[in-house]
Amino acid sequence: MAQQHRQRLQAVVEPVVTAGGYDLEDLTVTRVGRRHLLRIAVDSDSGVDLDAVAELSRGISAALDEAEATGDELIAGEYELEVGSPGVDRPLTLPRHWRRNRARLVKVKAAGSEVTGRVVAADDAGVTLDVDGERRTHAYAELGPGRVQVELKRLAELPDPDDEDFDDEDDEEGEDGE
């Protein structure tokens, strides 16, 4: 029954998401006290624009209201709608996920072993990773779900400690704020 309910919700939500230029990545309904939380994750090749997501949220809400007005009770009682992007912790499972993460560092099980590399290219057949300077191409069937590795600063952006202008205390202030 839960799967049928999810499919009915998806049938109402997905056309609105697609018309807005996004892919529906996930749709979940959870109970939060007396209410329900409908969480929808969307993404696109050009990223997620907050203004567009706000408009998309209004469109989804209107579509849900319209469906309920015709007698199709999709969510019993009060609900809260949350629309956003899947976030960096989303597993990379589809070709579009890999394409959208070109140049990102990922960790994935490939051909039976754990690999960390930078996504160089991705198409409908597979992904090419730069692993320690060596390019390796893997078909999606060889890969487990990939995970983007959060990089606070890339190595090339860090100052060279051998540079005479490098001072690792530049960001520290004295007790009197000087």
CATH number at residue 76: 3.30.300.70
Structure tokens at 165: 């202008």
Q: Are 138 and 110 in contact (CB under 8 A)?
A: yes
Q: What pTM did the predictor assign? A: 0.68
168 occurs within a structural domain: no
> pLDDT of 66-116, one tens digit each?
998 887 778 888 899 999 988 888 899 999 999 999 999 999 999 889 999
What is the residue range of 16's domain?
A: 2-84
15 occurs within a structural domain: yes
Question: Is residue 30 domain-shared with residue 78, that is, in the same domain?
Answer: yes
CA distances from 111 to 106, 168, 170 (A): 15, 42, 45
171 occurs within a structural domain: no
pLDDT band, very low/low/confident/very high, at 174 (cuts 50, 70, 90): very low
Cα separation, 100 vs 117, in Å, equals: 15
17 occurs within a structural domain: yes
pLDDT band, very low/low/confident/very high, at 156 (cuts 50, 70, 90): low
Cα separation, 41 vs 61, in Å, equals: 14
Pick from 93-97, 142-146, 163-167: least confident: 163-167
DSSP one-letter code for 159: P
| pLDDT attached to residue 160 | 61
Task: Report the domain count for the chain.
Answer: 2
89 occurs within a structural domain: no
The residue with greater pLDDT, 127 or 164, is: 127
Question: Is residue 7 domain-shared with residue 38, that is, in the same domain?
Answer: yes
Averaged over 33-39, what is the pLDDT? Answer: 92
SS3 category, 95: helix
Question: Is residue 80 domain-shared with residue 99, that is, in the same domain?
Answer: no
